[in-house]
Amino acid sequence: MTSERRFRIGVLGSGKGSNFAAIADACRAGVVPAEVVLVLSDVAEAGILEGATARGIPARFLSPGKFRTKLDEEAERAYIAALRGAGVDLVVLAGFMRVLKEGFLGAFAGRIINIHPSLLPAFPGLDAWKQALAHGVKVTGCTVHFVDAGVDSGPIIGQQTVPVLDADTPETLHQRIQTAEHALYPQCVAALARGQITVQGRRVLWRNP
């Protein structure tokens, strides 16, 4: 008797990979019914690669090519080929600091997700926690969303709030947002792996298991 094929995740990251670690560890613990089968990074010395290797997960640096903020065409083809070769069902962005363009989005249409450190649509773009402090909001948080051609503009899968304290600095607020991310991201990935998520226009609906 053959076992049922597990839901397969590919992760892209450019930094330490704390969200990757949260997802991978939740998979290993059985909290997320899936497995991370490949980690790719555009930064050769990125901590996410070390974290993947330590967990026995295949991990590779792939050159992003000649551009600073996106993959060039050759790099895009290499990333797509690597993810397809690993048979991934979902592409998870975990601090991947490159904008994905039409070719990549088309190759994995409706199967790319990202986490952003604000309650979108508020404060898209870089340093969202600093934007929140500068605007004086009392509540911010994090958002898991599908990736589209815009900047942090795809349909929202899930959100978690984080209070902004009077004594907060950018560093303390960012740290608490990251703690919320490490809880929210595995929850959303688990729902996708279980087939609980449907999308109607820009609305994302959760079906109870």
Query: Smallest Cα–Cα separation from 11: which of 197, 129, 158, 185?
Result: 185
pLDDT beyond 80 at 4: no
Three-class secondary structure assignment of 77-134: HHHHHHHHHCCCCEEEECCCCCECCHHHHHHCCCCEEEEECCCCCCCCCCCHHHHHHH
Q: In terms of CATH, what superfamily is 1-109? A: Formyl transferase, N-terminal domain (3.40.50.170)
Task: Write the pLDDT tens digit of every residue in 16-28.
Answer: 999 999 999 999 9
pLDDT beyond 60 at 112: yes
- The mean pLDDT of 89-109, rounded to a whole number, is 97
**Contact residues for 143 (Cβ-Cβ < 8 A; gap 6+):** 115, 116, 118, 119, 120, 152, 156, 158, 159
Catalytic-residue membership of 116:
yes
* Other beta carbons within 10 Å of 126: 11
Instruction: Say yes or no: do domains 1-109 and 115-209 share a fold.
Output: yes
Task: Write the pLDDT tens digit of every residue in 159-185.
Answer: 999 999 999 999 999 999 999 999 999
Mean pLDDT across the chain, nearest whole number? Answer: 96
CA 62 to chain centre: 18
Under CATH, which architecture does the 115-209 domain have? 3-Layer(aba) Sandwich (3.40)
Q: What's the pTM value of the predicted model, to 2 decimals? A: 0.95
Helix (H) or strand (E) holding 8: strand 7-13
